[in-house]
Amino acid sequence: MFSYYVRLALLSLRKNILLTGLMIAAIGLGIGAAMTTITVNYMMSSDPIPQKSERLFHVQLDNWSPNQPYNEPNEPPDQVTWLDATNLLQEGRAFRQAAMGGTSFVIEPSQAEQKPFIASGRATSADFFPMFDVPFIYGRGWTANDDNSQNLVVVLSKATNDQLFGGENSVGETIVMGGRAFQVVGVIDDWQPRPKFYDVSTGPFNEVEEVFVPWSLKEPLELPLNGNNNCWKPVGEETFSAFLRSECVNSQFWVEFEDPQDADNYLAFLNNYVTEQKKLGRFERPLNNRLMDVMDWMEYREVVAEDAIMMMYMAIMFLVVCLLNTVALLLAKFLGRSGEIALRRAVGASRRDLFLQYTVESAMIGIAGGLLGLVLAWFGLQGIGGLYGDMTEGLNELDLTMVGFAIVLAIVSTILAGLYPTWRACSVAPAGQLKSQ
Amino acid sequence: MSELGPIFRALLRNKVGAFLLALQIALTMTIMVNAIHMIENRSSMMARPSGLDEANQFYLSSNGYAENFNERAVVEEDLRNIRALPGIVDVTQINAIPLSGGGWSMGLQTETGEDKPSVGVAVYFVDDHGIDAFGVNLIAGENFSPTEITYRQRNEQGWPQNIIVTEAMAKELFPDLTPAQVIGKTTYIGGDEPMTITGVIDQLQAPWVGWSGVERVMLVPQRTEFRSSRYFIRTEPGQRDRMMKEVEEMLVAEDRGRLIRNVRTMEETRDDSYRSYSALQTILWIIVIILTIITALGIVGMVTFSVNRRRKQIGTRRALGASRFDIMKHFMLENFLVTSVGLLLGVGSSIALNIWLVDAFSLPRIGWYYIPVAMVILWLVGQAAVFGPARKASQISPALATRTA
Amino acid sequence: MLRMQNIRKIFKTEMVETHALRDFNLEVEEGDFVAVTGPSGSGKTTFLNVAGLLETFDGGDYLLDGQSVKGMNDTQLARLRNEKIGFIFQSFNLLPDLNLFDNVDVPLRYRGFKAAERKRRIEEALEVVGLASRMKHLPAQLSGGQQQRVAIARALAGRPRFLLADEPTGNLDSQMATSVLDLMQEINNQGTTIIMVTHDPMLAKRASRNIFVRDGQVSEVGKEDDIVELLHKTAQVG
């Protein structure tokens, strides 16, 4: 029976080929537009580290001016001071913890023909690598001992290793960065969390850094800051050390717990820490420390661009218009066939039969529209990539989930669109329409 | 027009179909009005003048890495050499590039004290050639003199005595004073360090195009010794591309322990900074245009159906004396009615969506004229869409009336 | 009143040419009640369409009210239909989405009457057919006979010089048919010329004049001729 409905549907769709085309095009365009924008939003809001995002927490401490909050109404700064990051690292109260901040290096390759170049860098502590499940091709991250001893060690990105060592295992080699020789201890495999959750201060979809060095080197080497720096109070002395010990926020601090429940204890510890610091004349605002897991933090920092959200709403409204269009056309089409329906009813088709027949017809439009929509979404995403350039790299790819979602969205929405027209068609009385027109 | 009555009553009997179409038109109008509003909004932001002579400007960055890098000597020699090239108007060392997205900001206030309100301002460290290199106009006071230019160290906290601000910044600090009256006024940076305004320039944008204070800029008479700095260069008209190459070749030629990178024009920088704006505009235009086409085609489809279903009725009307024109008029009027109902709904939903957008995305309100313009456009679209099927309907033979089937 | 001279009407398809009417001659006087009978395919309906200006013809001449309609454009024909001819169709052809008032209103609208004039005429016409009280009803709420009465009211409202009826009782039971026919007779008595196409000999008998169409040509039927027999004969021939 089902194949009979399919045949009838095909027949009917072919009979009105232009109209069928119009409905499929409308659904396709609607799905295409919606999928393009939904994909961008989905990619922007995806969980960058799903296996442990619930156990990774970002730390905020409110060291801001007693006269005004960092952000209205009473939000603490997005980053912490170097001093607090270093102190918390020393305390080591969480399962794992990492202090970090952006920096940059001029790298002078040993081969004479290669020119010096600037590499983006990150100063961080040993736990960074196991905490964020950073994959290594060669070697591994440095140890806590390297941190403590301020050893000149470096972890390279794959691209940097390719550039400097032609992709060979470079563990044990040395490279000159900022005029000093660093020993390579590890090379990271391709790794690009999207969003780059551990530091969104300069852009949530920026590239992962090219070199990583121990946090403890920041002060002795006076590593420059590559990122945002916010101060509410003059630094005072004009030295790097004074700058690091100022109330300027420019570092990030992340902790990992074995159990998300441990967050409460850790927050209590943070409050304790701040209360202790108050005795030194710091932290003049009331206690306002925060711990947020990865996804909460991404939402708090609004990593999904407003434009992307607006576009998505527009595209979804566009899809609704396309669906209304389809409802209206299907209604007109089905009602135009009341004669045929009455005849079928008269020869013994039950309402259920007719319902199935017309639902199959709607679903077929949905499938065709969904497929067209996928193709259009692919083009749409390419178009977005072209329009936005690097900004959307990695955000404009259709994954399997989205493909499935698109097809289901198309079929479900078309069947829904066909529901009312189908119901109207099925309620045609068997006799009524046979006589005259 | 007197025919509206019966047409309207007949439509009411065919509520669902007509209502669906009206709803579609309402939504189309809602999207159209708000999308075009967003497009216009972005256009007006992109149209804000930067104050620069953008077509003839470029910049590059110079990063010292060598242990023996003598920044002061290198910068002074670079600037001298660049300035000496024919085709160059002027050059200045600078810490950040307008519109580029990265830079410094500070707060200025008119009274001392950490608890006093301060006005955010973008900071450009430039020398006495800054104004010329930017191509901005001094409207009050004086430019920096070569002797007051000092060197700023990386961790330096203090500020020089004199600054030049944009007119917008002057207005923000001293709302009641003219630019000329602002000259000599003292403002405080970092709470209590005084600085004197010695010049006001007409217009210069900050590095952040999305910042509400994008017009608020101050020029500080300092060169930086941060080991990394930028040169901002203005050329004679039409010479930019040639000079870019020449300047880069000249600077790279000598190994002085520094890297020359990022040689870019202001036009590229503007395009990059506003890329997401123009991308959003393109996308919204595509949505509006396709949407209008879909709605128009939907009307064509609906009317075609309606005509096919009513062939006999049309034949009867023709038999009863309707001319071809009468039949066309009938369908055009019917569409006009449905469209009008849709547009009336659309006025409400357009405004509602706008209110929400104002609320959620701090977009400005739509101008009142968007509503009538969108209505007229959609009326015309509706009439154009219905024209074809209506013409077909008018070709139906009156003899159809006597056919039994 | 109505004069057809050598009217020819040819339907062409790619394969065949059908002469629906050939040298068709007919003259109808003012006040006549003419019944047109004939077997199916004889050209009755074509005659009706041509007479009612619903179709054009290919040869000959047709004078309506002394005026030749040859060469008139579509708009002129529509105007003429509207002013001079009232139609009654077999399946009533009421517009289903319009109530009775608006249905009767249709030809008056095209005539361009003022609202007050239209209202007066509509009420009057519905009064004549006895349905004035149901003006706001939709056609679907009426019986077949009532619907046909509305159609007659619609035909009368424009005060046409003559009525063209196409199997006016074809979709009605005999009791309703009689009442519709009585109504038509009454209209005829008041001076309106009626041409009625029917295949029902009993109906034809009530007309003042009978004509018989066969192979697109007319023959006058005398009082003494038996239409039933004529139909029989042609059926056998055909």
Give the closest of B23, B282, B302 to A387, CB-based: B282
Indicate yes or no: CB of B357 within 8 angstroms of CB of A310: yes
Same domain, A272 and A199: yes
CB contacts of A391 in chain B (<8 Å) are 275-276
Tell me the DSSP string of B321-357: T--HHHHHHHHHHHHHHHHHHHHHHHHHHHHHHHHHH
Query: Does a structural domain hold residue A74?
Result: yes
How far apart are the CA of A301 and the nearest CA of chain C, in angstroms? 58
How many separate domains does chain C show? Answer: 1
Taking the CA atoms of B192, B197, B203 and B207 in sequence, report the sign of the dihedral they define.
Answer: negative
Give which of C38, C109, C167 is closest to B402, Cα–Cα.
C167
Q: Which of A428, A434, A436 to mutate to test the interface with C (most CBs of C within 10 A)?
A: A436
Tell me the DSSP string of A60-127: E-----TTS-SBTTTBPPSSEEHHHHHHHHHH--SSEEEEEEEEEEEEE-SSTTSPPEEEEEEEE-TT
- Looking at residue B259, its pLDDT comes to 86
Omega before C39 cis (within 30°)? no
Confidence band for B1, pLDDT divided at 50, 70 and 90: very low
How far apart are the CA of B253 and the nearest CA of chain A, in angstroms? 13
Residue C80 CA to residue B318 CA, distance in Å, equals 11
CA distances from B30 to A341, B13, B347, B354, B375 (A): 37, 27, 7, 9, 10
CB contacts of C158 in chain B (<8 Å) are 321
Indicate yes or no: CB of B316 within 8 angstroms of CB of C95: yes
Mean pLDDT across C169-183: 85
Same domain, A110 and A250: yes
CB contacts of B210 in chain A (<8 Å) are none
A329 touches chain B (CB under 8 A): yes
DSSP state letter for B229: E
Q: Which of A237, A267, A300 is the last residue of a domain?
A: A300
Same domain, A103 and A116: yes
Residues B283-296: tens digit of each pLDDT: 899 999 999 999 99
- Looking at residue A434, its pLDDT comes to 44
Q: Which of C50, C74, C147 to mutate to test the interface with B (most CBs of B within 10 A)?
A: C74
Indicate yes or no: CB of A106 within 8 angstroms of CB of B65: yes
Mean pLDDT across C127-156: 90
Give the closest of C87, C90, C102 to B319, CB-based: C87
**CATH of residue C23:** 3.40.50.300
CB contacts of B6 in chain C (<8 Å) are 98, 102, 105, 109
pLDDT at C225 over 80: no
Residues B292-347: tens digit of each pLDDT: 999 999 899 888 888 888 888 999 999 998 999 999 999 999 999 999 999 999 99
Residues B227-256: tens digit of each pLDDT: 888 999 999 999 999 999 999 999 988 877
Same domain, A33 and A169: no
Omega before B364 cis (within 30°)? no
Query: Does a structural domain hold residue A437?
Result: no
Query: Does a structural domain hold residue A435?
Result: no
B→C contacts (Cβ < 8 Å), by residue, are 2-3, 6, 9-10, 13-14, 312-313, 316-326, 397-399, 401-402, 404
A3 touches chain C (CB under 8 A): no
Give the closest of B155, B290, B357 to A29, CB-based: B290
pLDDT at B405 over 70: no
How far apart are the CA of C232 and the nearest CA of chain B, in angstroms? 24
CB contacts of A437 in chain C (<8 Å) are 91
CB contacts of C171 in chain A (<8 Å) are 436
Q: Which of A68, A113, A329 to mutate to test the interface with B (most CBs of B within 10 A)?
A: A329
Backbone angles phi, psi at A245, to 5 degrees: -90, 10
Ordered mean pLDDT values, 10 residues apiece, chain A (437 residues): 80 82 90 89 87 94 88 90 96 95 90 84 96 95 94 96 93 92 95 91 87 95 87 80 90 95 94 94 93 92 85 90 89 80 77 84 89 91 84 77 85 85 78 45
Q: Which residue of C has its CA nearest to A432?
A: C140
How far apart are the CA of B211 and the nearest CA of chain A, in angstroms? 15
- Looking at residue B306, its pLDDT comes to 85
Single-letter amino acid code for the residue at A87: N
Residues C68-91: tens digit of each pLDDT: 998 899 899 999 999 999 999 888
Which helix H or strand E contains C33, and what residues bound it? strand C33-37
A261 touches chain C (CB under 8 A): no
Same domain, A98 and A130: yes
Query: How buried is residue B85: exposed, middle or buried, by Cβ count under 10 Å (0-12/13-18/19+)?
Result: middle
- Looking at residue A88, its pLDDT comes to 96
CB contacts of A327 in chain B (<8 Å) are 20
Query: Does a structural domain hold residue A51?
Result: no
Indicate yes or no: CB of C171 within 8 angstroms of CB of A436: yes
Chains that touch A (3 or more CB pairs under 8 A): B, C
Same domain, A192 and A323: no
- Looking at residue B70, its pLDDT comes to 87
Give the closest of A234, A237, A318 to B191, CB-based: A234
- Looking at residue A356, its pLDDT comes to 86
Same domain, A78 and A182: yes
Average pLDDT score over chain B: 90
How far apart are the CA of B22 and the nearest CA of chain C, in angstroms? 19
Q: How many CA within 13 A on the CB side of residue A259? A: 4
Complex-level ipTM: 0.86
Higher-confidence position of B375 and A72: B375
The side-by-side arrangement of strands in the sheet containing C2-12 is C17-28, C2-12, C59-64, C67-68
Indicate yes or no: CB of A437 within 8 angstroms of CB of C171: no
How many separate domains does chain A show? Answer: 2
pLDDT at B2 over 70: no
Q: Which residue of A has its CA nearest to B309?
A: A336
Which helix H or strand E contains B201, and what residues bound it? strand B193-201
User: How many Å is the maximal CA-CA distance in chain A?
Assistant: 100
Tell me the DSSP string of A380-427: HHHHHHHHHGGGGTTTS---HHHHHHHHHHHHHHHHHHHHHHHHHHHT
User: What number of C-beta contacts closer than 8 Å exist between B and C?
Assistant: 90
- Looking at residue A436, its pLDDT comes to 42
Range of the domain at C110: 2-237
CB contacts of B398 in chain C (<8 Å) are 53-55, 78, 81
Give the closest of B27, B153, B309 to A321, CB-based: B27
- Looking at residue C238, its pLDDT comes to 38
Same domain, A313 and A245: no
Give the closest of B23, B157, B405 to A235, CB-based: B157
CB contacts of A237 in chain B (<8 Å) are 157
A436 touches chain C (CB under 8 A): yes
Q: Which of A251, A268, A300 is the last residue of a domain?
A: A300
A437 touches chain C (CB under 8 A): yes
Q: Which of A249, A280, A300 is the last residue of a domain?
A: A300
Same domain, A141 and A75: yes
DSSP state letter for B297: H
Give the closest of B28, B282, B297 to A22, CB-based: B297
Give the closest of B312, B325, B401 to C54, CB-based: B401
Chains that touch C (3 or more CB pairs under 8 A): A, B
How far apart are the CA of B236 and the nearest CA of chain A, in angstroms? 31
Indicate yes or no: CB of B27 within 8 angstroms of CB of A238: no
pLDDT at C237 over 50: no
Residues B95-137: tens digit of each pLDDT: 999 998 888 888 899 998 877 888 889 999 999 999 999 999 9
Confidence band for B210, pLDDT divided at 50, 70 and 90: confident
Range of the domain at A38: 2-45+305-426
Chains that touch B (3 or more CB pairs under 8 A): A, C
Indicate yes or no: CB of A328 within 8 angstroms of CB of B24: yes
Structure tokens at C65: 């009210």
A272 touches chain B (CB under 8 A): no
CB contacts of B322 in chain C (<8 Å) are 78, 82, 106, 110
Give which of B335, B220, B183, B209 is closest to B276, Cα–Cα.
B209
CB B95 within 8 A of CB B230: yes
